[in-house]
Structure 1
Amino acid sequence: MYNLQKTFSKPEMIAMSKYTFNGLLGVLLCIYSPLSTCWSQENHNESIRNPSFESDNGWRRLQTESNEYYAPVHGTRYAVLNGSGNKIEQETSLKLSKGKSFHVTVWARSIFDENHSQQLTSPTQDYPDGTSETSHIRLELRIGNKPLAEHEVAINPVEILGAPQEFSNDDGGNIWIDGGYRHAFSESRFVQRLELDPIHDPWEIAPDFEDYQRAQEDRGAVCPVIVRDRKLLYVSTFEDPEGEREEYHAIQYIEPTGEGAPNYHWPAAPPEKYENLVLSHAGDEDIIAFDPYVFFDELDQRLWMAWGGNFIAVTELNPETGLLLHEQENPEVMTHEKIHARVADRATNQEDVWTGDNEWIEGAAIYRKNDFWYLFASYGSLMTSYTIRMGRSRDPMGPYVDKDGIPLTQFNKQKQRFGNSFFLGDDGAQLVPGHPHFWEEDGQTFVGYDYRKSKKRLNGTEESPDIFGIRKVYWEHGWPTIWTPISVSVSAEQHPDLLGQNIVLSIENTGDPGSAVAVDNVSCSDVTHNE
């Protein structure tokens, strides 16, 4: 499937505010903790040299790279561990002392080797397929040759088991939770009991799958949302039901009923032309009315929709009706700037570059986390170069800016593209991810998406079907990331014979021989127990 201006603090000021808050929090915890335990986060940068690998200093056998495709957690560089057994080490200034414990965290992800990355960023040849090499990382604390603590983690993206291995899943992993189940809606419809793990346990095909197919009749990219006591499934329509217009794109919604345990009652047929019609494409406008993503803001009780192809818009909907909050005087979309905010653009007159900006933009998502709104979109060709990019704003209607503070609607001459920051691209065997959908369970954020196992080739070989994917999302320095945090803790009480000695930090690739691991953003928190 083919798939206005407000004051915004600069990222540097936001970061400074965050660090100030963390420092104040540490003081407050020290004063008010009933256990007289003081948590300090301000000394770790002094204890660990070059914690975000922005230079080549501080670590033994350090190799660093800088590639925005891999979306570093902090800064622009990261450490690279190519091949099993490759590791970096540092003797820190952390000393075991009476009453003190240390908690060390590093962030890691699987990447491709340098040759693969170069091929990935070249538009003059076939984009490479993925790799089956598994990536593991081990974090160890020791003094001399004596281990204090260690933790080993697999960091590859995981294949979702069960029905997603049998049924293709075009246009995302769109999920709501209802009736004790997770419900996934897209080309296919999957369900999973809520007590199971969404990533590691199998999903089943929904018992109402055939009714679901009939109700939306391959309507394309769908987006489910629960608004108070209503369940709405927003869909894209590509054919004029009355045959009046050859080029027709519209967004409508379908309303199933039932408790979702695990099936629903679906309408017997797709909606008529004007039934539950949110908006339609006027035919001669640059934006295409499809790929809706609807987010209900529980905090403010407002309903928002990100949508569009060629560029992305955000529109407020009425939570009572599910339709536009403000009516349009005519079908033209972008002549109503107060109703539809243009929030992300792509270059259309530049030479095609590896990042895929100039090929297409679609499959947007909007999500609120604390005081920020985050906009995501699928950039590039879904067959060869899809990546998910992002920006953030204080206002759901924008403007959204990337990590460098560049608006997503502004062309940057230095970057030779519109503003955007990478969120997710090819990773392991999962290629061309797109159409993200975000949800939260018990404080953990997840992203559902679609991906492929092979790309379209220059010799005419077609790309593989879309597959259902899910990953955990973490929030660090005010931005979402798919990098995995790995942590270990050590207490001086466990090693009284080693008091006063410096701790050595070791980070090792323990995966397959051809694997490559990136490491970033090392931090240490110390807890002092006052007796």
Structure 2
Amino acid sequence: MSKHTFNGLLGVLLCIYNPLATGWSQENHNESIRNPSFESDNGWRRLQTESNEYYAPVHGTRYAVLNGSGDKIEQETSLKLSKGKLFHVTVWARSIFDEKHSQQLTSPTQDYPDGTSETSHIRLELRIGNKPLAENEVAINPVEILGAPREFSNDDGGNIWIDGGYRHAFSESRFVQRLELDPIHDPWEIAPDFEDYQRAQEDHGAVCPVIVRDRKLLYVSTFEDPEGEQEEYHAIQYIEPTGEGAPNYHWPAAPPEKYENLVLSHAGDEDIIAFDPYVFFDELDQRLWMAWGGNFIAVTELNPETGLLLHEQENPEVMTHEKIHARVADRATNQEDVWTGDNEWIEGAAIYRKNDFWYLFASYGSLMTSYTIRMGRSRDPMGPYVDKDGIPLTQFNKQKRRFGNSFFLSDDGAQLVPGHPHFWEEDGQTFVGYDYRKSKKRVNGTEESPDIFGIRKVYWKHGWPTIWTPISVSVSAEQHPDLLGQNIVLSIENTGDPGSTVAVDNVSCSDVTHNE
């Protein structure tokens, strides 16, 4: 077992350990660490900080930067080893790009850079003097999924449901994986019913799977009028496979007819683009919601019994509908584009509920150069959704020269222009599936780079989702009785490749006391 693997497992064990179940009481003790969110330049030795919303800091606007292998920051905290106490320290980290690369990403230029193959690791260490107390070393780069996703392109996201003891991924390709395997680190296979799946949704795309009670529905969109009457036409329909999904399904022999399972449509222009459906079944309230659209994003309530509009309409044409679609996110069509394509395009939305909040995600920018996934949240699935600054996603932010939104996922390592997110949970852990590319250039000057299937863990901090990784260590006086009363030094080091850059944010400490 490698050192990185061992330390990664150690970190998992430390995170799982629950002192409250073993006669301990827990209390936050963050005041023992100076400048824990790096909003100033104080408190740490050799500290360098940056502020770039592109990297979506966990807390505040700034974060510490560790440039290259061996770069580290340290602080002698006011934490003292005390009898009967356990200290649990957590930092949040992610890989970012060097300063020059970051400036290119965030400048109003078309010279968008590609990614980097440098791997990023971070080591968190507690010590007293030169004596180590505890450490944890973790790899923080996004992982390239193994198996069939390396052979088959995967346009329009990593859309997943769990059924029949398998994870099922639906998009341009269709992958399956046994549920006992790790969704990120173990290989996926091409589904044995892939050809039937392709035939059932031929000329359709941007799929979204959802299980609604005892029905399995695959929502799809099309840009072709099956009857050839409209040159400009786009519509959202659903396909209903049957079977146990272990791992096969039975698929319709042909794609749906023009009015078959038709949710909504639009014809004649591109002022409204009825495509990119994302359907979420709220099991708590037993209600069904759909985010959809391009140019702007809308949310619509569907009927869980029929899979169609909750408020039935005589005409599927969106322009004839009144007060049933909520416009929840916009882009500026009359503004000069700013960095990362904010005013260039918006599509590939997702809607997701976590506790009392609804979260809206959308893909902003050009999928060739500047695609990123942004977000907002609301107490109501129909909005309004606001970003971390409290700006509605439908309100123009004059200071930033774009509509409200906060970053969720952007270029990271070798994974570029991520988009079309899909969220699901397993055993309390949230995951996001998405598509990405390895290059922003055209291959041989003719074809675009293929889309690739990606998955990452999602964590929740301060009421927002994040792809930053929490790294934790714990230490108690019982392990080091000879060091009682001495201050603990906290060290955070980049242990990755020489050209790697690591960002660190939001250091916290729990002061845990044993109940005699």
TM-score (norm 1): 0.92
Find the residue that maps to 1:46 and give its secondary structure: helix
Structure 1 residues 407 and 26: alpha-carbon distance in aligned structure 2, compared to 1, 3 A threshold: farther
Instruction: Supply the distance in 1 between the matched residues of 2:6 and 2:139 (Cα, whole angstroms).
Output: 33
- Matches of 2:117 and 2:466, distance apart in 1: 22
> 2: distance between equivalents of 1:333 and 1:398?
19
Separation in structure 1 between the aligned mates of residue 461 and residue 513 of structure 2, nearest angstrom: 24
Q: Go from structure 1 to structure 2 and tell me whether the alpha carbon gap of 1:482 and 1:340 turns closer, same or farther (over 3 Å shift).
A: same
Cα displacement (A) at 1:282: 3.6
Task: Report the Cα distance in structure 1 between the residues aligned to 2:3 and 2:301, rounded to whole angstroms.
Answer: 30
Secondary structure of 2:149's match?
helix
| 2:442 matched residue in structure 1 | 457
Shift of 1:216: 0.4
Cα gap change, 1:244/1:505 in structure 2, threshold over 3 Å: closer, same or farther?
same
Structure 2 residue 254 is the aligned partner of structure 1 residue 277: no
User: 348, 361, 365: which one pairs with 2:333?
Assistant: 348
CA contact (8 A) 1:38 1:527 kept: no
Question: Please, which moves more after superposition, 448-457 or 283-292?
Answer: 283-292
Deviation by residue 1:113-165 (Cα, 9 ceiling, x = unmatched): 00111111223242100000000000000000000000000000000000000
Query: Residue 335 and residue 65 in structure 1: after superposition, are their counterparts in 2 closer, same or farther (change >3 A)?
Result: farther
**Displacement of 1:517 after TM fit?**
0.2
Contact 2:338 2:401 in 1 (8 A): no
Secondary structure class of the residue paired with 1:214:
helix
Aligned to 1:261: 246
Is the CA contact (8 Å cut-off) linking 2:94 and 2:504 kept in structure 1? Answer: yes
Name the CA distance, whole Å, in 2 between partners of 1:115 and 1:34.
Answer: 44
Equivalences, count: 516
Give per-residue Cα distances to partners, 1:40-62, cap 9 Å, x unaligned.
77653310000000000000000
Contact kept? 1:36, 1:530, Cα under 8 Å: no
SS in structure 1 opposite 2:344?
Answer: coil
Q: 1:191-230, CA deviations, whole angstroms, 9 ceiling, x for partnerless residues? A: 0000000000000000000000000014110000000000
Q: Deviations over 1:254-285 (max 9, x none)?
A: 00000000010000000000000000014346
Do the aligned partners of 2:108 and 2:337 also contact (CA within 8 Å) in 1? Answer: yes
Q: CA deviation at 1:334?
A: 5.5
State the distance in 2 between where 1:437 and 1:217 align: 22
CA distance in structure 2 between the aligned counterparts of 1:327 and 1:222, rounded to whole angstroms = 23
Cα 1:22–1:414 shift into 2, 3 Å:
farther
Distance 2:491 2:351 in 1: 39
Kindly indicate whether the alpha-carbon contact (under 8 Å) linking 1:39 and 1:525 is maintained by their aligned counterparts in 2.
Answer: no
What is the alpha-carbon distance in structure 1 between the residues aligned to residue 252 and residue 3 of structure 2?
49
The answer on whether the counterparts of 2:81 and 2:483 sit within 8 Å (CA) in structure 1 is yes
CA displacement at 1:363 relative to structure 2: 0.2
Counterparts of 2:412 and 2:159, CA distance in 1: 20
SS of the aligned residue for 2:489 comes to: strand
Return the alpha-carbon distance in structure 1 between the equivalents of residues 423 and 12 of structure 2. 34
Query: CA distance change for structure 1 residues 381 and 28 in 2, over 3 Å: closer, same or farther?
Result: closer
Structure 1 residues 282, 331: CA separation in 2 closer, same or farther (over 3 Å shift)? farther
2: CA distance, partners of 1:18 / 1:495: 23
Is the contact between residue 439 and residue 446 of structure 1 (CA under 8 Å) also seen in structure 2?
yes
Cα 1:319–1:22, aligned 2, differ >3 Å: closer, same or farther? farther
Alignment CA distance shift 1:353-1:103 (3 Å): same
TM-score of the superposed pair, with normalisation by structure 2: 0.94
- Stretch of structure 1 that moved more, 475-484 or 25-34: 25-34
Tell me, yes or no, if the aligned pair for 1:444 and 1:472 is still in contact at 8 Å.
yes
Cα RMSD of the aligned pairs, angstroms, is 5.6
Deviation at 1:31, TM superposition (A): 22
* Ranges in structure 1 where 5+ consecutive residues have no aligned partner: 1-15
Find the residue that maps to 1:127 and give its secondary structure: coil
Give the drift of 1:357: 1.3
1:22 and 1:85 map into 2 onto residues whose CA distance is 17
Stretches of 4+ aligned residues off by more than 4 angstroms: 16-43, 329-332, 457-462
Write the distance in 1 (CA, Å) between the matches of 2:474 and 2:383.
41
Q: Which moved more, 1:108-117 or 1:119-128?
A: 119-128
Q: Give the whole-Å Cα distance in 2 for the aligned partners of 1:49 and 1:348.
A: 45
Conservation of the 8 A alpha-carbon contact between 2:105 and 2:340:
no
1:183 Cα deviation (Å)?
A: 0.2
Judge conservation of contact 1:30–1:38 (CA < 8 Å) in 2. Answer: no
* Cα distance change of structure 1 residues 343 and 21 upon mapping to structure 2, 3 Å threshold: farther
How big is the shift at 1:477?
0.2
3-state DSSP of counterpart to 2:236: strand
Change (3 A) 1:19 1:38: farther
Cα distance, 1:448 vs. partner? 0.1
- Stretch of structure 1 that moved more, 35-44 or 252-261: 35-44
Contact 1:30 1:36 in 2 (8 A): no
Please say if residues 41 and 524 of structure 1, whose CA atoms lie closer than 8 Å, have aligned partners that are also in contact: no
Question: 2:419, 2:126 → 1: CA distance?
Answer: 38
Report the CA distance between 1:25 and its aligned residue: 27
Instruction: Pick one of 186, 196, 205 that aligns with 2:190.
Output: 205
Counterparts of 2:15 and 2:72, CA distance in 1: 36
Structure 1 contact 307–313 (Cα < 8 Å) conserved: yes
Q: What displacement does 1:465 show?
A: 0.2
Task: Report what 2:119 is aligned to.
Answer: 134
Work out the CA distance in 2 between the residues paired with 1:85 and 1:41. Answer: 34
Unpaired runs of 5+ residues, structure 2, are none
Asked if the contact 1:30/1:39 (under 8 Å) is kept, the reply is no
Query: Structure 1 residues 372, 335: CA separation in 2 closer, same or farther (over 3 Å shift)?
Result: farther
Q: Percent identity?
A: 97
Contact conserved, 1:378 with 1:389, CA < 8 A, in 2?
Answer: yes
The change in CA–CA distance for 1:118 and 1:376 in structure 2 (over 3 A counts) is same
Q: Tell whether the 8 Å contact from 2:209 to 2:279 is kept in structure 1 after alignment.
A: yes
- 3-state DSSP class of the match of 1:42? strand
Q: Which shows bigger deviation, 337-346 or 359-368?
A: 337-346
Q: Distance in 1 between matches of 2:195 and 2:89?
A: 50
Q: CA offset at residue 415 of structure 1?
A: 1.2
Task: Go from structure 1 to structure 2 and tell me whether the alpha carbon gap of 1:261 and 1:37 turns closer, same or farther (over 3 Å shift).
Answer: closer
Q: 1:463 Cα deviation (Å)?
A: 3.3
Aligned mates of 2:53, 2:501 — CA distance in 1:
16
80-89 or 322-331, larger mean C-alpha shift:
322-331
Distance 2:3 2:359 in 1: 18
| CA deviation string 1:477-502 (max 9, x = no partner) | 00000000000000111110000000
